[in-house]
Structure formats: structure tokens, C-alpha cells
Amino acid sequence: MSQAYIKAVCLSDKRGVPKKTVQEGHLKNAYGLVGDAHAGRGDKEVSILLSQYLTSVKNSLGMNPEPGSFAENLLVDGMEEEKIAIGTVLQIGEAVLEVESIGKDPSESHSYSFHGFSLLADKGVFCRVVRSGLVKSGDMVVVSN
């Protein structure tokens, strides 16, 4: 099995638009990704999308989503979905995250989509920042439960 790693760090200064890839970002405790429009809003401080979901959309629909197309903060490659559960701790770069939810509660509004697809609503991994730190593309993701 390959090691999981950060394929992209993505942020946007306003909500409702795709996020742009940046080389690195600072994850701040009780806040989220500094500079991102979703940071500082309480729960779901950081959103993670597993890269296999982008690949699935690309292969099945012939679309070519870029990192950030689904409004994720971190795109992770090489991680198996079954390794992630509520309470899972992720060491990424200098930061430590804890998984708070997978997908969104159906009663929550989620208006953003990429050509009609809202992967974060169903497949997003939402985390709180336990320890602040710098994260960047290529950083390994170490999982512990």
C-alpha cells in the first residue's frame, strides 16, 4: 500500500467558488486554513477530499476537475476511505487534525457544486485543527485512531 500524502492545498477568499491551489497553508487551531473564506466559522474547520473521488468523476463523466474544484482545502492521495472515521487523528506536516464528520448532515445547506456534483456533501472529511502548523503539497498524512 502506498503512503497517503497531500496532493494539493487549496483556498479561496470567498465562498461559493472553486478554491485555488497554493504551495502551502497554515492550519490554525480552532480556526482552520488561514486565508480561506470558510475558516473561523465554527465546526468543519478543514475539508479534505480523497483524490480517488476526483478520479472517479474524471473517468465516469469525462470531466477534468482540478484540485479545489469541489471546494476542498486538502486533496489527499493514497488514503483508503475505510481508514477514516469520526475521531481519527491525522498528522499532516506540522499540523494535527481530528475527523469530526464525514459528509454533511442532509439538513445542512450545501449550494456549491462542480458541474452539478457536490462531492464534499457526501464524501468530504471535515476536521478540526487540534495543533496548528504549516502544511504543504507532498506532506505525508499519518493516520491514528
Q: pLDDT digits over 22-60, tens only?
A: 999 999 999 999 999 989 887 789 999 999 888 777 777
Mean pLDDT by 10 residues, the chain (145 residues): 88 88 96 94 88 79 82 93 93 96 67 63 90 98 88
How far, in Å, CA of 127 to CA of 144, rounded?
A: 14
pLDDT at 1: 47
pLDDT at 43: 78
Assigned fold of 5-144: M1 Pyruvate Kinase; Domain 3 (2.40.33)
The per-residue DSSP string of 79-139 comes to --GGG--TT-EEEETTEEEEEEEES--TTS-----BTTB-HHHHH-EEEEEEE-EEEETT-
∠ CA 46-138-71, rounded to 5°: 35
pLDDT at 116: 62
pLDDT at 57: 74
C-alpha cell at 87: 475521531
pLDDT at 129: 97
